[in-house]
C-alpha cells in the first residue's frame, strides 16, 4: 500500500471554514496532516485541498483566512424546489450515476450566477493557480451521464476550472464547461468520495457532510470499506456545535469564521484518534 491520503469532503462555505479549523486545531494538538502523500478534495474540500497542497499557505495562515471579511463572494442559495428535486432523486435512484443524471438536469435548468463570474470567485480563493507538485485530486460529476471524473495535474484541465467544477453545487451554482461537457459538484457522487483513497495505508477523512442517502454512500461507510481492505482509517464529521455554526445556509461565505472556530475547537477531541491513523 501507498502511504498517507487526506480526504476532504464537501460542505459549502461552512465546510471550507470547518475543514480549515479542523486542520489547524489538529496541527496545534501535534497532528500535522499537511504531509499527506495525496490530497483528495471534493467541493469545499477541493478549495481547502488546493490551498494546502500548494505549499503557499501554512495551516495557521489558512485558518486566519477564514476569519477575514468574506465580502467578495456572494452567497449561494437553494430554493424549496431544489430540495424537492434532491429528495426525489434520492428516493428514485439506484446508482450514483442515475442520481447524477437527474440532478444534472436540474443543474442545467437552474437560474444561477453567470459561469464566468463564478469562475472569478473561485479563482480569487487561490494562493496559486497552478497545480501543485504534490498529488491533488478533485472529483466532479458529468451533468449528462452522472459519471464521476477525477481531475488532477495530468488531466489537461486548469486548476481553477477543476476546482470550480468540483464546487458547482447543483441548483446554486452554474455547471462548469470543460472539454465541451458540463460538470457539477463532486459531492453529487458521494459527500466525501473517500473511496478514491483506496490503496493508501493511512487515511484521514474530514467530512463536513458525513451522511449518505439513497445511492450515495456515507463517509463512514466508505471509511469502513477502506479499513476492511487493510488501511488505518479515521473519519471525522462535524459535532453539534459545528453543525450549528454552519447556520441555515452553509453556502453563505459569512459562516466561514464561525465554522472555522468550531472546527478548531472540535479538533482537540479527535487529535488522538487522528494521530493513531496518521502516525506510525
Tell which residue, 127, 204, 206, has the closest CA to residue 163: 127
Catalytic, out of 43, 54, 166, 218: 43
Annotation says 239 is catalytic? no
Annotation says 185 is catalytic? yes
Q: Which residues contact 135 (CB under 8 A, 6 or more apart)?
A: 37, 38, 39, 53, 152, 153
Residue with the three cell numbers 446508482: 95
Are 183 and 176 in contact, with CB atoms under 8 Å apart?
A: yes
User: Is the torsion defined by CA of 42, 48, 51, 52 positive or negative?
Assistant: negative
Burial of 177 (0-12, 13-18, 19+ CB in 10 A): middle
Tell which residue, 167, 155, 143, 160, has the closest CA to residue 41: 167
Catalytic, out of 142, 161, 185, 252: 185
Q: 227: how many CB neighbours lie within 10 A of its CB?
A: 15
Residue with the three cell numbers 487522528: 274
The residues annotated with a catalytic role in the active site are: 43, 185
Amino acid at each position: 500500500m501507498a502511504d498517507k491520503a487526506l480526504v476532504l469532503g464537501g460542505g459549502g462555505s461552512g465546510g471550507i471554514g470547518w475543514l480549515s479549523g479542523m486542520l489547524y486545531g489538529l496541527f496545534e494538538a501535534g497532528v500535522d496532516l499537511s504531509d499527506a502523500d495525496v490530497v483528495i478534495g471534493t467541493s469545499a474540500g477541493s478549495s481547502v485541498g488546493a490551498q494546502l497542497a500548494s505549499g503557499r499557505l501554512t495551516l495557521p495562515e489558512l485558518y486566519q483566512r477564514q476569519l477575514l471579511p468574506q465580502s467578495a463572494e456572494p452567497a449561494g442559495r437553494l430554493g424549496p424546489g431544489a430540495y424537492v428535486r434532491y429528495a426525489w432523486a434520492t428516493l428514485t435512484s439506484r446508482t450514483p450515476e442515475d442520481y447524477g443524471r437527474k440532478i444534472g438536469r436540474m443543474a442545467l435548468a437552474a437560474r444561477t450566477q453567470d459561469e464566468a463570474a463564478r469562475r472569478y470567485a473561485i479563482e480569487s480563493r487561490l494562493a496559486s493557480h497552478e497545480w501543485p507538485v504534490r498529488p491533488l485530486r478533485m472529483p466532479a460529476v458529468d451533468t449528462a451521464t452522472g459519471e464521476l471524473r477525477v481531475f488532477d495535474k495530468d488531466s489537461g484541465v486548469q486548476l481553477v476550472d477543476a476546482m470550480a467544477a468540483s464546487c458547482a453545487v447543483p441548483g446554486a451554482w452554474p455547471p462548469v464547461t470543460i472539454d465541451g461537457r458540463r460538470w457539477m459538484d463532486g459531492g453529487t457522487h458521494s459527500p466525501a468520495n473517500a473511496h478514491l483513497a483506496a490503496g493508501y495505508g493511512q487515511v484521514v477523512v474530514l467530512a463536513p457532510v458525513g451522511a449518505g442517502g439513497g445511492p450515495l454512500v456515507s463517509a463512514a461507510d466508505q471509511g469502513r470499506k477502506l479499513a476492511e481492505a487493510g488501511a488505518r482509517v479515521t473519519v471525522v464529521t462535524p459535532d453539534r456545535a459545528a453543525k450549528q455554526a454552519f447556520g441555515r445556509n452553509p453556502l453563505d461565505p459569512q459562516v466561514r469564521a464561525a465554522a472555522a472556530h468550531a472546527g478548531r475547537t472540535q479538533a482537540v477531541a479527535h487529535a488522538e484518534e487522528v494521530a493513531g491513523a496518521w502516525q506510525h
